[in-house]
Amino acid sequence: MTEAKHEELNSNGKKPLKMEEAVHVEVADDIPPELEALLHAEPCVGLSDSEVAERTAQFGLNEIPETKTNPLLKFLSYFLGPISYLLEIACILSGVFEDWIDFGILLAVLIINACIGFFEEARAESALDALKNTLALKSRCWRNGKLVEVDSNTLVPGDIIALRLGDIIPADCRLLGVGVQGEISEGTLQIDQSALTGESLPVQKGKGVTAYSSAIVKQGQMLAVVTKTGINTFIGRAANLISITTEEGHFQKIINSIGNFLVIITCGMAVVLFFVRTWAVPEDKDASTGDRVKAALLEVLVLTIAAIPVGLPTIMSVTMAVGASQLAKKEVIVKRLTAIEELASVSILCSDKTGTLTLNQLSFDKPYLSNKGNTTDDFHGTGVPYTEQDLLLASFFASEPGAQDAIESAIRKAAQTRVTILKERENQDHHIPGYKVNNFIPFNPTSKYTEATVTDLSTGKKFRTIKGAPQVIVRMVGGHDEATAAVNDFARRGLRALGVARTVDDAMTKFEMIGMISLLDPPRPDSAHTIEECHKLGISVKMITGDQQIIGKEVAHRLGMHRTILDASKLMDTTIDEDALIDRCVKCDGFAQVIPEHKYKVVELLQKRGYLVGMTGDGVNDAPALKKANVGIAVEGCTDAARSAADIVLLAAGLSTIVDGVKTSRAIFQRMRSYALYRIASTIHFLLFFFISICAYGFSLPPRLIILIAVLNDAATLVISVDNAQISQRPDKWRLGQLITLSFILGFLLMIISWAHFFVAHYGVGYTQHSYDKYPNEENAGVLQTIMYLQISSCPHFVIFSTRLPGYFYENMPSWTFIIAVAGTQVFAMFMSIFGIRALDATAIGWGWGVGVLAVSTVMFMLLDIVKVQIIRKWSFDLTVKLYPTKARKAELQTRLAKRALKARVDANIIKARKVYYMTMAVVAWRKALSQSKKAVKGAAGSTAVGIN
């Protein structure tokens, strides 16, 4: 056997195990040749002032420009939208016709809507500004041959900067392998770039490697040359992704769709009505065309004002503003009010791992412990294993006091909280009761371990302990396959390992393996529960991390998730189409080794499938995805970039407040949906009834009563923002087809009920003249108008007690504030109608009509509630396609039907496979029982034979 071959084998002739090592994947960022030419200044000289000025003019300041919206333009933006446009037109026409009461009301509604939205978002932004921390404002830099302190935003490519422990790196820079004073250094910097890449562990970087802006130096010192600044840095690339993301919000799309629908039917009926009242069936045939046009315009104007859902934007804004205040008490700051509604609809939550699902700090995990007396050939030793306390105490001996290294800190913390003699110390310095550390050798890149020489004061015996890289410690003990296997297991699970050994001879030369420490960035205590709660609420959680795939799998497993964590490179696979990529995103539980573009891509792909996506994060690398997501959520301790890009900011650690936010947002969604359904149904009812009554009978209400219905009812409905709401266990969704269809049916039924009242009242008060004649009896006409005012005011308004729930109205009782506000307005309307108020054009109708109309309205809303429940229960996407057969819906229906058929086949095959499995297991169990029975018979026969002999 050759010498080389002999060295590959242990003393027992077996080939030793090889240690598996996880390889760090460095993020690459190319430097163009023209920029490379500027990066060769003398390390301890730096650039001159003239060079700095020239390069500042060429590259700009070292800062990412922040675009501020002009406050006036922002305020004016709240006057945009279909409903606002209709209100503005009506307001202008009211001024033209000198109808100053309507003009004042409409103008006030417009300004109130804008002010609520503007000031609520301004308040949220002010709260965020108060949270901002200033980072890396000053840097140490060599200029003109002197090491000076300069403002970080004045750095330019080619500047020589000094990086030391605790520094926040102010720009992308290349490490020079030179000490701060110019001495040659072979050392490395330990850099925490979790805020940038999402990696949970600090990385070692040496000469020639790029360190990125906003990363933090955890250990070491070195000079570096600035390579990129401002918008050109790695962070700047993320900022560019943010700047190009300017999509219209989901909520704004919904409001615009509802507004467009109402505006179209209102304008359509208004045009027809104007034509009828002016030329087809004029009220006064002897009047001039100009007078008829003016009269018809005024009539149409009043009707249009009453039909416009003037309170829709206001009530939506107030409801969300109240919700934002409720969330603020739970340490959730809402930057964009509409994000509250969108959070209720989120069906997929993409969460950053490091610092969000995990603590972003290394912690001691379950270790591997060797047996005492173990050797290279005999792992069993005495058979008595070292304890966890033995391992941690030996590690503590070999730990550097006060070192800020993440690994050293984790081990010292674990030892001080778990080792009895360390917990019982009076002072918490490096003093160890019963032992004395005589000598300590710190870690260096060559040896890759720390060492301590220790005296046991009780026996006077000295020994050495070492702690370091697993492969080094295994070599120091002469080889240890069992420890190597444990390290490989740790590596496959994404755990960082450290070996610990001690000497067992008087000469302190022979080392014995104590064990292997495993370290992991552990999940936050509440993360697993939060993910479980999200699943109960119908939200799928996907973990997205910059860490290695094996680390992602291990953390996912500990969080109760599946381990389907894919490498982010799969997102850039050009061999498959986009639909297949989207399927990957939907089916997997997360992605590992991502960069900002990957996170952005994940959100984009999921949105293309129609999902509303929430994204949580805390680092610069999360900012583009936070901006792109329907709801971006910046968690506690986030960077300025993440906070700026997010819609919601969490002030409390962890994700537990997200569950509170989802529940609150779903309650708010239910309130907004109930109001939208009520208001659309009321508008349809109002338009249909008066369109027919004016065209067929020339009947309408006095303008003041119409305005009173619109303003009083919507004002009372404002209290829906504090109503009790039934929280959905699935993501809420604006089903516009269902909403509009249900609204139309309810509005149509309300119109029939109003016509029934009209005919009963028409004949009941003695008004029987032809439809187009002037009222012969003004008193009777006034009574009829007031009766219809009370019915049109109360019946649709009571319907809101039904629309506030998808189920029956009695399944969840409204709040007393809501009951009093809604009922109070109708009681006021009833007494006003009973006794009459001439100033408001209300004629006294007496107790019989007043109480009777209100009682019928109460019964009618209960009947309409049954209709609502039945429609909602029978509604499906298939029905939507039948009612609104667009090309896109038909294609979607075919896709869904194909998926249903596939699922049915798969389920059927699973059932068949289970039957075969159960039959096979039954046969195996029967054969096993038969075999055992035969053995028992043979045993009994053997015993009998022995007895006979």
How would you label 926-935 residue by residue, b for 16+ Cβ within 10 Å and e otherwise? eeeeeeeeee
Residue with the two structure tokens 């060492």 = 451
Q: Which helix (H) or strand (E) holds 581?
A: helix 578-587
CA distances to 318, 728, 818, 922 from 671, in Å: 11, 12, 11, 56
Q: Is 878 a catalytic residue?
A: no
Q: Give exposure, 834-867, as e/b (b: 16+ Cβ within 10 Å).
A: bebeeeebbbbbeeebbebbbebbeebbeebbee
H/E segment holding residue 302: helix 289-307
Cα–Cα distance for residue pair 913/332, rounded to 1 Å: 49
189 near 78, Cβ under 8 Å? no
Tokens of 496: 């960082």
292/269 Cα distance (integer angstroms): 18
Residue 108, sorted as left (phi over 0), alpha (psi -120 to 50) or beta, turns out to be alpha
- Is residue 405 within 8 A of residue 190, CB to CB? The reply is yes
Catalytic residue among 99, 352, 589, 647: 352
The tokens 């301590």 sit on which residue? 452
The count of other CB atoms within 10 Å of the CB of residue 227 is 23
C-alpha span between 80 and 61 (Å, rounded): 37
CB 649 within 8 A of CB 333: yes
The CA-CA-CA angle for residues 907, 908, 913, to 5°, reads 95
Question: Which pairing describes strands 146-151 and 613-617: parallel, antiparallel, or unpaired?
Answer: unpaired
Output the CA–CA distances (angstroms, integers) from residue 628 to 132, 245, 616, in the order listed.
22, 6, 12
Residue 380, H or E segment: none
Q: Which of 810, 820, 707, 804 is nearest to 315 (CA)?
A: 804
Single-letter amino acid code for the residue at 754 = S
Pairing of strands 631-634, 613-617: parallel
Distance between CA 857 and CA 854 in Å, rounded? 5
Residues 6+ apart with CB under 8 A from 936: none
Q: What's the rounded Cα separation, in Å, for the pair 735 and 673?
A: 10
Euclidean distance between CA atoms 97 and 47, whole angstroms: 73
Q: Give the catalytic positions in this structure.
A: 352
